[in-house]
Structure 1
Amino acid sequence: MEIPKIKLLPNPETEEAKYAVGYKWNDIAGTRHFLGGKPDGLKEEEFPKCKDCGQEMTFYAQIDSIGDKYDLADCMVIHTFVCFDCFTVESQLNQTLA
């Protein structure tokens, strides 16, 4: 199953949060947040299998690094997968060039 891609846009609500978002030397990192669609940098055959039922999990969300202060290992993203049969969730930290 593939969920339609829904882009997420950061909306910092405090001055502290506004300063946390973004990178000094990178215009792409910090902007790659979305629900559904296809994860950047992963092929479907690389999707995890559910630990409970063994079925391939559905890609649910990609959350990018926030900014320089909260960088995830050189601008990595978190890919989250869900099994819609068991509601098991798994997340991975992956490097992507997109």
Structure 2
Amino acid sequence: MKEIPEIKLVTVPETEEAKKAVGYKWNDEAGTRHKLGGIPDRLCLEEYPNCKDCGQRMTFYAQIDSIGDDYDLADTCAIHVFVCFDCFTTESQLNQI
């Protein structure tokens, strides 16, 4: 398993509709925790999935946060994406962060 250095992602909504969709009225942090690599928020190494093809522990690849009030993922959850760099198998999880 290799670790990818953390790369923070910043949303750039380009239309008025998209600008209204981003963010929460009650929470300034939720909706801003998108990133590539690093360590997933509130998830320990033991919770990383194993590759269904080769059985090796997968590498954390990305965290996609909830978007905002109108597109919330189960009370500000995030999607965690994992990849096996040997098999190029991917898996995602919805986790509370």
TM-score range, shorter chain: over 0.9
Letter matched to residue 60 of structure 1: Y
Give 1:64 deviation, angstroms. Answer: 0.2
Paired residue type of 2:79: I
- TM-score calculated relative to the size of structure 1: 0.97
- CA RMSD, Structure 1 to Structure 2 (Å): 0.4
5 Å matches for 1:25-44? 25-44=26-45
Number of residues of Structure 1 aligned to a counterpart in Structure 2? 96
User: In structure 2, what is the equivalent of residue 91 of structure 1?
Assistant: 92
Where do 5+ consecutive residues of structure 2 fail to align?
Answer: none
Q: Which amino acid aligns with 1:84?
A: F
Give the percent of matched residue pairs that are identical in Structure 1 and Structure 2.
Answer: 77
Which AA in structure 2 matches 1:71? D
Whole-angstrom CA distance in 2 between matches of 1:51 and 1:37 = 22
* Aligned-partner SS, 2:93: strand
The answer for unaligned runs of 5 or more in structure 1 is none
* Matched position secondary structure for 1:66: coil
Residue in structure 2 matched with residue 59 of structure 1 by the alignment: 60
Return the alpha-carbon distance in structure 2 between the equivalents of residues 3 and 91 of structure 1: 17
Q: Distance in 2 between matches of 1:21 and 1:46?
A: 29
1:58-92 per-position Cα deviation (integer Å, ceiling 9, x unaligned): 00000000000000000000000000000000000
Q: Which residue number in structure 2 is paired with residue 82 of structure 1?
A: 83
